[in-house]
Structure 1
């Protein structure tokens, strides 16, 4: 990989982290301050962003950034770009990254729907995109198995979110100069994300292997909204997601972005 391509890859991933920062910060703020809007699920997040000054420009930035971040995570499965290894533990982490990639592709599509909708805030973007896609998958012979496996992948992702929150291992991939308190932001954020991934993964598992149906599948905003009646857990999750947004902003600047060695074809991290 030449320097030009490597730098473009690095900047694309950093835009991805910046987009993630916007997404989770807005989600956390809405959950804490506008419970009626969080009831709209993921639509409520993008509708709020759409109403920002230059909201449509921000939405397009998020489309590009979320796709870039999803591809970055997908590279972990295909190329082991994060050096997780090929043993059982390594493959488990790589599959977890794949679950994250799928989730962020879905979020990018939702942002695209709002960015291209001329009716946007009046309901032009479809709120049932995830359910429609799942319904299409279920129409195939082995569609239920596919959704069930996706649910398991997201549950695995949730497990690794909790592990990161507990161990703080994410700090190993953050460069020097990161602000004080980065570890606290990250731990709280990963804990909240673990909760959300468990909710989404379980909904996919029910749709695929049970009798839940595609209308039971939850997206990011839906998962948070489903906790609204749980009081303390809802508040903890909302605060954690806001902190994860701030943590993602730190990552956009200080995350060590891996690259592929052009001579040997093996992953390595930038020094």
Structure 2
């Protein structure tokens, strides 16, 4: 292992990285709390902004000192990107199964992409350069124009559904407990953290699975406008029988995930 690799691995295992992760998790929790709040407004017919990550950032920017807060969210997200990239390169060395180790590392890389997208959206919001109307449907349209584009969009949909399903699974089986240290899992506080995590993972997973379903429907109908992000997915939930009740439950669950992020920051285990 060369000197740069040793330095990167040392950084991954360092105490300052723990502090950086905690800061990032707090920022991630704030974003989810705001998404939950906007989704609740949507459910109650008082929508003011998109119930999505970008909508949450725009909502935050409109508050007192909002520009500073959005920049702090961006920094937090990029700290999480750094963590996940280091984890991709040097993490899970204690895993004896090579296939499982690389599967976990691939998951870390995927999470780095998600955090990076939120961070970049925060930078665009803070600098006022995120007002373009490209949207998910235009991205889907570009994919559709590629050779085998309809299949690609369908596979993207399946991948998103799979990710949503994995979150539901982690919530239902409480596998997320591994993210909390022993103190964070014990006593009344620990019981509350676990309940928040369970509700949060399941609700977030359901919302993301609906996003994947929209991509799949777009692939089947060959209509890019049928695809959509989180905001359109929540709108779709609202349009179903008992949609308002379902959306309130999902909104509260997404907010619960945000609070769980705070608990995870306090009782970090990695």
The normalised TM-score by structure 2 is: 0.76
**Alignment partner, residue 206 of structure 1:** 217
Larger helix share, 1 or 2: 2
Q: Is the 8 A contact 1:40 1:221 kept in 2?
A: yes
1:30 and 1:144 map into 2 onto residues whose CA distance is 32
Q: What secondary structure is seen at the aligned counterpart in 1 of 2:147?
A: coil
- How does 1:147-186 map onto structure 2 within 5 Å? 147-178=153-184, 179-180=189-190, 181-186=192-197
Inter-CA distance 73–110: structure 2 relative to 1 (3 Å threshold): same
Candidates 109, 132, 143, aligned match of 1:137:
143
Q: Is 1:63–1:108's contact at 8 Å kept on the other side of the alignment?
A: yes
Which of 146-155 and 134-143 deviates more? 134-143
Name the CA shift for 1:29/1:253 in 2 (closer, same or farther; >3 Å).
same
> Equivalents in 2 of 1:73, 1:255: separation in Å?
15
Partner of 1:30: 38
Q: Which moved more, 1:224-233 or 1:135-144?
A: 135-144
Structure 2: runs of 5+ lacking an equivalent: 1-5
Higher-Rg member (1/2)? 2
RMSD: 3.2
Residues in 2 aligned to 1:74 and 1:146: alpha-carbon distance in whole angstroms: 26
TM-score under structure 1 length normalisation: 0.76
- Change beyond 3 A, Cα 1:223–1:103: farther
Tell me the distance in 2 between the aligned counterparts of 1:155 and 1:92.
18
What CA distance in whole angstroms lies between the structure 2 residues aligned with 1:171 and 1:113? 34
CA gap 1:239/1:107 in 2 versus in 1, 3 angstroms: same
1:17 aligns to what SS in structure 2?
Answer: helix
Separation in 2 of the partners of 1:74 and 1:138? 30
Structure 1 residues without counterparts, runs of 5 or longer: 119-123, 258-271
